[in-house]
């Protein structure tokens, strides 16, 4: 066992003494030691209940003959960090989560790991660590929040963001917004809807690193606790078989996850996280692959925010296994891959079927013939840009309009709420990419304000930052190269015409090469917005959004 390095033999007597100081018995020390990364805290609604999930995992580990050893990680709530300096630290926190789990698992050589995340950057961060450390491991999330109810309709966090714009537009009163605020988020869990957290929890299932139900069983359900116990039991089985994460997360498994991503209409942030996770397994997922898979994968689910159905609806309709079973029928998945259940995907999907054909449509009657995400290329985004095409109004699938240029999110938000944006405009928010932000700001506030003001079918937004999974409309993010790296987005001037053609996967700045070359000569990089601390160091190391915003690994060459 790996843990023998810190507990076996006479020379490890001091080590065992330290374990005994914490109350561990000789019998507990002799058993396999299972590290449990628990990201519980009191600042994220998706994490406030994770100690209960952790206890259930511990119970499962003990039932299967192991000794659970829990430790904590950090976590950022994207909703609370939104639209102020806090958002500069959100994406950057993903690397700290991955590093902290790696540090704990290598400093204390556990025999296996169970990872308990539940929100935007914590899930991919833990998956990155799982593949980096590569010991028997499984993930179990805290589950999605239930939708709220307000005046007879389902509501959620994005309803409140959009409510701010509605108050500005005069279609909602401040008192009504207060009522909505009180009802939209009814309790614990990752925010209701196919936002980033729930997207990544569903894709954890699809890759095969979590058990069925990981992405959709509600946070408040007893089934969620039972799933956590099963995860604790199953990790001991993975340990006995020495079935490692990299044996599960193969190129075929990532292809399956990307197909499920398209069928569900997941958050555009998956295009950042999935390649970053694959990178830790030594795999590369070029952005073109997302388009290739999207073009042959039907969009089967119309989930909040782009549609009416909730994660609870998806769970009741058969969950991710039902979606995968439907995709398997049309040959869109490789069912030979292994999963954390210990079985192949094909065996796992036997008997699974759609229980509600409106929530999960049959492949022959999809919501859209193509998947939920598209990657656009062109002279404005030579390395790519990402849009959630399933959430774009038909009128905006192609659009040409004048650029309204802003060098920060706050300045754009002020103009939007100040009624300075007109129908037909293309709002450009730049210098908010991985380096320029730093941290690749999420733009839920401006996109929600555009929707709340009733401009969702008339105004596009383009940024080198990114969007919340709660974003809808013609919102195109991850424009690469970013402005801080001298990408073409840095050369746009007020009034330039921009052409968006999502069906043809094109994003074009209608300015001549000669004029752009002239502008480039006079362009100067902006000074860093943060000049010290972690965010500054992150900005020096982070790569393009087109590579998943991973950190550079060539520092040794630079030092030499």
Which residue numbers are catalytic? 468
460 with 426: CB under 8 angstroms? yes
Cα–Cα distance measured from residue 303 to residue 318, given in angstroms and rounded to the nearest whole number:
14
Q: Which residues contact 558 (CB under 8 A, 6 or more apart)?
A: none
Residue whose entry in the numeric block shows the structure tokens 């209940």: 49
Sheet of strand 33-38: strand arrangement: 67-72, 33-38, 112-116, 137-139
Residue 4: half-sphere exposure toward Cβ, Cα within 13 Å: 4
Nearest to 543, CA basis, from 481, 486, 462, 463? 481
Nearest to 266, CA basis, from 355, 337, 195? 195
CA torsion angle 110 113 114 117 (round to 10): 100
Two structure tokens written together for 351: 């008997």
Cα–Cα distance measured from residue 438 to residue 459, given in angstroms and rounded to the nearest whole number:
26
407 with 525: CB under 8 angstroms? no
Per-residue CA distances from 296 to 163, 263, 372, 385 (Å): 36, 10, 11, 20
Strands (E), 62-111: 67-72
Cα–Cα distance measured from residue 400 to residue 506, given in angstroms and rounded to the nearest whole number:
12
Helices 90-107 and 270-280 meet at what angle, rounded to 10?
20
């Amino acid at each position: 066992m790996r843990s023998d390095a810190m507990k076996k033999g006479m020379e490890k007597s001091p080590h065992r003494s330290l374990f005994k100081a914490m109350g561990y018995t000789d019998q507990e020390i002799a058993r396999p030691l299972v590290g449990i990364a628990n990201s519980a805290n009191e600042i994220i609604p998706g994490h406030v209940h994770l100690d209960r999930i952790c206890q259930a995992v511990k119970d499962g580990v003990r039932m299967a003959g192991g000794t659970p050893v829990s430790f904590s990680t950090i976590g950022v709530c994207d909703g609370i960090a939104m639209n102020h300096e806090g958002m500069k630290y959100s994406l950057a926190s993903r690397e700290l989560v991955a590093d902290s789990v790696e540090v704990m698992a290598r400093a204390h050589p556990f025999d296996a790991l169970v990872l308990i995340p539940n929100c935007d950057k914590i899930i991919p961060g833990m998956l990155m660590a799982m593949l980096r450390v590569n010991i028997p491991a499984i993930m179990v999330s805290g589950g999605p929040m239930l939708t709220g109810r307000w005046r007879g309709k389902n509501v959620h966090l994005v309803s409140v963001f959009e409510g701010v714009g509605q108050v500005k537009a005069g279609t909602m009163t401040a008192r009504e917004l207060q009522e909505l605020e009180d009802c939209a988020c009814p309790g614990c869990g990752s925010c209701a809807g196919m936002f980033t957290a729930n997207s990544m929890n569903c894709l954890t299932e699809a890759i095969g690193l979590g058990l069925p139900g990981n992405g959709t069983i509600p946070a408040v359900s007893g089934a969620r606790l039972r799933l956590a116990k099963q995860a604790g039991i199953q990790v001991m089985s993975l340990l006995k078989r020495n079935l490692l994460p990299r044996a599960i997360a193969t190129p075929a498994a990532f292809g399956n996850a990307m197909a499920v991503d398209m069928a569900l209409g997941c958050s555009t942030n998956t295009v950042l996280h999935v390649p970053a996770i694959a990178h830790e397994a030594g795999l590369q997922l070029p952005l073109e692959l997302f388009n290739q898979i999207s073009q042959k994968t039907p969009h089967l689910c119309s989930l909040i925010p782009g549609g009416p159905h909730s994660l609870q609806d998806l769970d009741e309709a058969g969950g991710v296994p039902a979606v995968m079973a439907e995709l398997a029928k049309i040959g869109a998945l490789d069912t030979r891959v292994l999963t954390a259940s210990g079985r192949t995907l094909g065996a796992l999907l036997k008997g699974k079927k759609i229980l509600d054909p409106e929530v999960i449509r049959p492949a022959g009657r999809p919501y859209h013939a193509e998947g939920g995400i598209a990657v656009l290329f062109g002279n404005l985004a030579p390395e790519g840009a990402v849009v959630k095409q399933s959430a774009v109004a038909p009128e905006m699938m192609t659009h040409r309009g004048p650029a309204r240029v802003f060098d920060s999110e706050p300045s754009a938000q002020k103009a939007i709420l100040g009624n300075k944006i007109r129908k037909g405009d293309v709002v450009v928010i730049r210098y908010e990419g991985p380096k320029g932000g730093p941290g690749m700001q999420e733009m839920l506030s401006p996109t929600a304000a555009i929707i709340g003001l009733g401009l969702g079918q008339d105004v596009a937004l383009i940024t080198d930052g990114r969007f919340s999974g709660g974003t809808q409309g013609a919102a195109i993010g991850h424009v690469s190269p970013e402005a801080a790296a001298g990408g073409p987005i840095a050369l746009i001037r007020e009034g330039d015409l921009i052409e968006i053609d999502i069906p043809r996967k094109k994003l074009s700045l209608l300015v001549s090469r000669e004029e752009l070359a002239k502008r480039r000569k006079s362009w100067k990089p902006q000074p860093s917005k943060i000049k010290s601390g972690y965010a500054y160091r992150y900005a020096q190391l982070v790569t393009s959004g087109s590579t998943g915003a991973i950190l550079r690994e060539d520092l040794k060459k630079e030092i030499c």
